[in-house]
Amino acid sequence: MAGRVLRTKLCDMLGIEYPILCAGMGPVLIGEKAGSTVDLVVAVSEAGGLGVLGGSGFTVDELREAIRLIKQRTDKPFGVDLLLPKSVVSEKPVDYGDIKELPLSVVLKTIPKPHREWIRKVREELMLEEADIMVRLDTTTMRPLEAVKVCIEEKVPLFCAGLGNPGFMVEEAHANGIRVLGITGNIKNAVRMRESGVDLLVAQGHEGGGHTGRIGTMALLPGVLDAAGDIPVLAAGGIGDGRGLAAALAMGCAGVWVGTRFLATDESGALDINKRRILSSSDEDTRVSHAYTGKTSRTSYSKFHDLWNGSGLEPLPFPMQVLISSALMGSFIDAGREDYIGGFAGQISGIIHEIKPARKVVEDMIEEASDILMNRLPANVILK
Ligand SMILES: Cc1cc2nc3c(=O)[nH]c(=O)nc-3n(C[C@H](O)[C@H](O)[C@H](O)COP(=O)(O)O)c2cc1C
């Protein structure tokens, strides 16, 4: 791919070669590795895109270590994504004193009895053992202000806010040379983010993997582009090859934010079963459900969805529902019940048929988008 040039203003802003960002992907379940690991971040940044670390499952100290490791392994720009609560400034972190972790079986005692009874019943019916999982009480999600401080002290090139509005830290970030990215699933939120001074906006459509909104990417993008004004917008949700990149650029986006496609790479931290599930999925094999986290999230379909739908239970608020899904997923994984296992993944799974090195994902996307924009589009469209 030597010599291929495909640049937008995003490349100048972030100091990268290609307008492709690997989405920040944290762990879905307690005890799971993050989807976007240090390896994946480094690989995407070294390939000319920009890798974003999914920092939500790390402790604050581990986050600092991971950032330093990335800096040791690449001198290219990279990002860190944190799941900020809605009111990050007013919410006081829960103080567990010296207790850093507790067995999931102990923490589960804090959830309502009907939900506990349901977990017991499912385990009994499917003859599953209790999984031996520890719940960490000092992750970045529990300590968002400390985690943000680490990002600022480490002067990460790009700070990305999954879920909440990063407005409260924009000024300090800018004073430290850090760009700030916000993620939105609707126009109203895009306006709020713009007003809070973010440098970049990701517009993530309904088809995307993980926590997702109600608006499809095609309908979302023009509205967010209008609302964003001068702020560059990245398209997300359902982008997995050069066709998606070319379409996003044609729409007026400055680049793309890609999750599921990068999950199916050698370097991603997804469980093997989840990688295989993406490869074997058709476009109809994902579901949006409250079952995993209590918020609407899109995952590969598994029989866990049917179990939850048949439970008659109300989902617990985020992140309590994660205790339920983790308890059962842990048991399914230990028992090898792959038919009940599925991780965050988007509808684009339907066109992903092989695990590739992350560099190849970037190169293939750029090659195909370039070919479309230079050759295929002019050949297909009569313009006068
Ligand atoms: C396994 C996985 C984990 C994710 N975790 C996060 C996260 O921690 N923070 C975040 O902002 N978005 C997260 N997302 C959403 C992605 O950032 C991104 O918006 C989405 O994957 C884009 O859609 P696509 O999967 O169709 O590419 C996650 C997505 C996946 C697939």
- Spatial distance between the Cα atoms of 169 and 178, rounded to a whole number of angstroms: 10
Per-residue pLDDT of 73-102, as tens digits, reads 999 999 999 988 765 555 555 566 778 889
Query: How many CA within 13 A on the CB side of residue 108?
Result: 23
Q: Is residue 260 part of a domain?
A: yes
Domain residues for the domain of 38 are 9-96+138-271+351-376
Q: Is residue 1 part of a domain?
A: no
Residues, the chain: 384
pTM score of the predicted model:
0.96
Q: Does residue 133 lie within any of the structural domains? A: no
Question: What's the CA gap between 285 and 60, in Å, rounded?
Answer: 35
Residue nearest to atom 29 of ligand 1 (CA): 210
State the closest ligand 1 atom to the C-alpha of 207, by its place in the atom list counted from 1: 26
The pLDDT of residue 87 is 56
Contact 199/13 with Cβ under 8 angstroms? yes
Atom number, ligand 1, closest to the C-alpha of residue 202: 19
Mutate to test the pocket of ligand 1, among 198, 207, 211 (most ligand atoms within 8 A of CB): 211
Compute, in angstroms, the gap from residue 344 CA to the centroid of ligand 1. 8
CA-proximal residue: ligand 1, atom 3 (nearest)? 25
User: Separation of 125 CA from ligand 1 center, angstroms?
Assistant: 33
Atom of ligand 1 nearest to the CA of 23: 17
> Confidence class of residue 31 from pLDDT cuts 50, 70 and 90?
confident
For ligand 1, atom 8, the nearest C-alpha belongs to 26
Looking at every residue in the chain, the average pLDDT score rounds to 94
Q: What is the pLDDT of residues 112-162, one digit of tens each?
A: 999 999 999 999 999 999 999 999 888 898 889 999 999 999 999 999 998
pLDDT at 86: 64
- Ligand 1: centre distance to CA 210 (Å): 5
End-to-end CA distance of the chain: 33
Query: What is the number of the ligand 1 atom nearest to the C-alpha of 343?
Result: 1
- The residue to mutate among 25, 28, 37, having the most atoms of ligand 1 within 8 angstroms of its beta carbon, is 25
pLDDT number for residue 142: 86
CA of 53 to the centre of ligand 1 (A): 11
CATH number of 197's domain = 3.20.20.70
Give the mean model confidence (pLDDT) for residues 204-233. 97
pLDDT tens-place string over residues 291-311: 999 999 999 999 999 999 999
Distances 321 to 86, 125, 137, 210, 293 between C-alpha atoms, Å: 17, 21, 16, 15, 5
341 found inside a domain: no
What's the average model confidence in pLDDT over 215-233?
Answer: 98
Give the pLDDT confidence of 235-278 residue by residue, as tens digits. 999 999 999 999 999 999 999 999 999 999 999 999 999 999 99
Q: Using CA atoms in the order 332, 337, 340, 343, what is the torsion angle rounded to 10 degrees?
A: 70
Answer whether residue 152 is part of any domain: yes
Residue 48 in this model has a pLDDT that exceeds 60:
yes
Residue 125 is assigned to a structural domain of this protein: no
**321, part of any domain:** no
Residues with CB under 6 A from ligand 1: 23-26, 28, 35, 54, 56, 81, 83, 162, 183, 204, 207-210, 236-239, 257-260, 263, 343-346, 348
Total domain count for the chain? Answer: 1
